[in-house]
Amino acid sequence: MTRSHDPIEPRRVAFLGLGVMGGPMAGHLARAGHAVTVYNRTAAKAADWVAAHAGLTVACAATPRQAAGQADIVFICVGNDDDLRSVVLGEDGALAGLKPGGLLVDYTTASADVARELALLARARGCDFVDAPVSGGQAGAVNGVLTVMCGGTPEAFEKMRPVAMAFSRAVTRLGDSGAGQLAKMVNQICIAGLVQGLSEAIAFGQNAGLDMKQVLEVIGKGAAQSWQLDNRGTTMVDGQFDFGFAVDWMRKDLGLVLEEARRNGSRLPVTALVDQFYAEVQALGGGRQDTSSLIRRLR
């Protein structure tokens, strides 16, 4: 389903995790007219977010449980599987506060296993769960044009889709619980090999004495074009990497991919190699740098 600008009825929602992605996503929900209660582990960030959205219907909660108690839909965007369990489960977790009929929607890039596990636990309480990892990066979150890959029941998906359109270009159901996370893994496999290819091409061109910005502009109009070339080519030529999607997160994602591949019998030789190359970038101190810093190994 692609972007629609039809106004929808304001909903009571919660947002857990106001990081690089979650902060702007929650902002779009508030500006779309929804009543948004936020929770963040570092409480000062939640207070700052509420102050930055003064005048809209926003509030801050001390625990995920408290935030979920104010909401029909709880959106989540934290780091990994363990972080996700820590905000959903337990005495102070969102599931303890959510009323029957409530819905959890998780934007974290996590495993398909944790999505299936949390969906079962949610359903046992009369609630539901949709895994909804995103593509589009920080700029996609800020500009409200994320691509969202969803797994869950058709009913749960139809409930979250119109609300999630506040920060999305496209929100699509790809199957039952876990399907969103599996689709995101496909996305990361595509990107890993591509960024290595782009790194080799740019390093080769520079070693050959070419004006690589000019070369990228030319080949970007032909069959070599890609999102990575368009959005990262110039900064790779200049050696600028202090922005964007962190290498640490990419290694987390590739770890999920390689584990799933072992299970389903897929052979991913290039992805496994690029994962090791990213480990070298981490060893160079680049864990928080953008994934395009893969080219650093070649310099």
Ligand X SMILES: NC(=O)c1ccc[n+]([C@@H]2O[C@H](COP(=O)([O-])OP(=O)(O)OC[C@H]3O[C@@H](n4cnc5c(N)ncnc54)[C@H](OP(=O)(O)O)[C@@H]3O)[C@@H](O)[C@H]2O)c1
Residues near ligand X (CB under 6 A): 17-22, 40-42, 45, 77-79, 83, 86-87, 108-109, 134, 137-138, 245, 249
Query: In sequence order, what are the residues at sequence separation of 6 or more whose Cβ sits closer than 8 angstroms to the Cβ of residue 42?
Result: none
Q: Is 184 a catalytic site residue?
A: yes
Smallest separation, CB 128 to ligand X (Å): 21
- Nearer CB in complex with ligand X: 205/233: 233
Q: Which residues pair with 135 in a beta bridge?
A: 147
- Nearer CB in complex with ligand X: 72/290: 290
Q: Which residues pair with 171 in a beta bridge?
A: 148
Q: Which residue matches tokens 């004006």? A: 211
Strands 58-60 and 73-76 turn out to be: unpaired
Q: Which two tokens stand for residue 32?
A: 């779309």
Smallest separation, CB 107 to ligand X (Å): 6
22 contacts 44 by C-beta, under 8 angstroms? no
- Nearer CB in complex with ligand X: 80/206: 80
Cα–Cα distances in Å, from 283 out to 36, 157, 247, 275, 297? 40, 41, 11, 13, 11
Instruction: Please calculate the CA angle 14-18-22 and round it to the nearest 5 degrees.
Output: 80
**Residue 12: phi, psi to the nearest 5?**
-95, 115
Strands 103-106 and 128-131 turn out to be: parallel
- Nearer CB in complex with ligand X: 192/203: 192
- Nearer CB in complex with ligand X: 67/77: 77
Smallest separation, CB 250 to ligand X (Å): 8
Smallest separation, CB 23 to ligand X (Å): 8
Nearest to ligand X by Cβ — which residue? 19
Catalytic residue among 184, 213, 221, 252: 184
Smallest separation, CB 113 to ligand X (Å): 15
| Residue numbers annotated as active site | 184
